[in-house]
């Protein structure tokens, strides 16, 4: 079976992102099921390269990344490549993502894929309708309209939809398309648990752009820091932090509360180092807001990665998390606020033996329920039915 991702990732494998990680896991699962997989990135291209890059990863995923300075040529190269990759004897599947690309770009992918007689599969990882706005501007209205057009025009043009949660699955049921809820997947082979003696005493929060969540974690840790020997590691991306506004707020809070020696602030670290942090952390924090539509509709990619590491996860029972985990395999915080988060963090710090067992149970969930190879087989079987329609 020939599988081609078209513009569904952000310059894979040059950049690290949740979408890139998930699509890599989907690809690995499909390869284990006997498929050939190619990831063709957006024609908008990357400023990191000067010429088209065509290669394969260590996992056997072929990829094509385009240079940013040759956008018009890149559009033609996408057409050329999906034509070359097309199989005359096996099923041809094109995978798109609703999150990647403006409406005209998504239409372009759909048209060229259909002309080459590929079956179309759409990944939906988030739900932006209706948006939450603080004030109305022309640009916000245009953005909202764009999202409305995408969700109403793109899914009907596809043959199959892969929503990340049951929330989105219900929303898209009106299109009467073949669908499969595709949650955050676990990389069982790459992220493995370590022995308990290798675990340190540091909580870990990792989030790119979620500065308000990072501050909540920091405040919760400050509440327990005086009566606990634990530390906190914050991995935060400050790329879009204009004038270091949020970074300065975080540094100021750390300084004022005298927890500088207990808090480590990291940014722009390698994926391998990130995995090492998952494996050695006391517990992994991923707060979810029960009143936030985005959190209700999604299933964070890090859940699969964290569970693979076998370390306890601290989160809220929001969205689809409760579909896969119970209170024996994850720590649930009662509400999305500083005090409740601090209570649960303190619970972990006071009973590390129990926390280790919760982490081990989370790993079992990753192995049995979120395993990327398991979903590779499911997708292969569903894709096979599409080719017969």
Cα separation, 105 vs 43, whole angstroms: 9
Number of Cβ within 10 Å of residue 268's Cβ equals: 10
pLDDT averaged over the chain? 92
Instruction: Examine domains 2-185+371-386 and 196-368 and report if their fold is the same.
Output: yes
What is the sign, positive or negative, of the torsion defined by CA atoms of 59, 48, 64, 109? positive
Q: Which CATH superfamily is domain 196-368 in?
A: Glycogen Phosphorylase B; (3.40.50.2000)
**Adjacent-strand bridge partners of 63:** 39, 55
- Average pLDDT for 349-373: 96
- Average pLDDT for 225-247: 86
pLDDT of residue 135: 63
With cut-offs at 50, 70 and 90, classify the pLDDT of residue 96.
very high
328 contacts: CB under 8 Å, gap ≥ 6: 358, 361
pLDDT of residue 130: 65
Q: Is the per-residue pLDDT at 33 higher than 60?
A: yes
pLDDT of residue 15: 87
Sheet holding 119-124, edge to edge: 53-56, 62-65, 36-40, 2-6, 92-97, 119-124, 160-163, 178-179
Which DSSP string do the residues of 45-112 spell out, in sequence order? Answer: -BTT-SS-EEEE-TTS-EEEE-BGGGHHHHHHHHHHHHHHH--SSS-EEEEEETTSS-HHHHHHHHHH
Cα separation, 128 vs 293, whole angstroms: 8
> Which of the listed CATH numbers 2.40.160.20, 3.30.56.10, 3.40.50.1860, 3.40.50.2000 matches domain 2-185+371-386?
3.40.50.2000
Express each pLDDT in 252-271 by its tens digit: 999 999 999 999 999 888 88
**pTM score, whole prediction:** 0.90
pLDDT of residue 77: 95
| Sequence ranges of the domains in the chain | 2-185+371-386, 196-368
Are the CB atoms for 54 and 32 separated by under 8 Å?
A: no
């Amino acid at each position: 079976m020939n599988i081609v991702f078209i513009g569904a990732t952000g310059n894979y494998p040059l950049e690290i992102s949740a979408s890139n990680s998930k699509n890599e896991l989907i690809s690995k699962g499909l390869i284990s099921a006997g498929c050939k997989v190619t990831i063709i990135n957006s024609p908008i291209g990357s400023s990191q390269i000067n010429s088209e890059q065509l290669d394969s990863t260590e996992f056997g995923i072929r990829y094509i990344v385009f240079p940013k300075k040759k956008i018009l040529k890149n559009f033609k190269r996408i057409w050329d490549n999906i034509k070359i990759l097309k199989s005359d004897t096996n099923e041809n599947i094109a995978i798109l993502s609703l999150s990647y690309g403006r409406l005209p770009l998504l239409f372009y992918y759909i048209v060229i894929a259909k002309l080459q007689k590929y079956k179309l599969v759409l990944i939906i990882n988030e739900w932006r309708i209706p948006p939450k706005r603080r004030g109305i501007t022309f640009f916000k209205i245009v953005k909202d309209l764009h999202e409305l057009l995408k969700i109403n025009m793109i899914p009907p043009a596809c043959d199959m939809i892969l929503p990340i949660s049951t929330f989105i699955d219900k929303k898209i049921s009106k299109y009467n398309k073949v669908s499969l809820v595709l949650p955050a997947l676990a990389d069982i082979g790459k992220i493995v648990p370590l022995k308990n003696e290798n675990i340190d005493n540091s909580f870990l929060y990792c989030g790119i752009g979620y500065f308000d969540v990072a501050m909540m974690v920091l405040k919760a840790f400050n509440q327990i820091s005086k009566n606990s020997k634990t530390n906190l590691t914050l991995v935060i991306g400050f790329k879009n932090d204009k004038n270091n506004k949020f970074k300065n707020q975080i540094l100021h809070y750390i300084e004022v509360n005298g927890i500088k020696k207990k808090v480590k602030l990291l940014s722009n670290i390698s994926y391998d180092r990130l995995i090492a942090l998952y494996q050695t952390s006391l517990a992994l924090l991923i707060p979810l807001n029960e009143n936030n539509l985005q959190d209700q509709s999604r299933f964070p990619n890090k859940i699969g990665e964290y569970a693979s590491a076998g370390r306890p996860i601290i989160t809220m029972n929001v969205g689809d998390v409760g579909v896969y985990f119970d209170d024996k395999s994850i720590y649930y915080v009662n509400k999305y606020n500083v005090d409740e988060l601090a209570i649960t963090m303190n619970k972990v710090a006071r009973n590390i033996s129990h926390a280790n067992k919760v982490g081990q149970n989370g790993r079992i969930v990753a192995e049995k329920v979120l395993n990327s190879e398991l979903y590779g087989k499911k997708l292969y079987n569903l894709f096979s039915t599409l080719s017969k329609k």
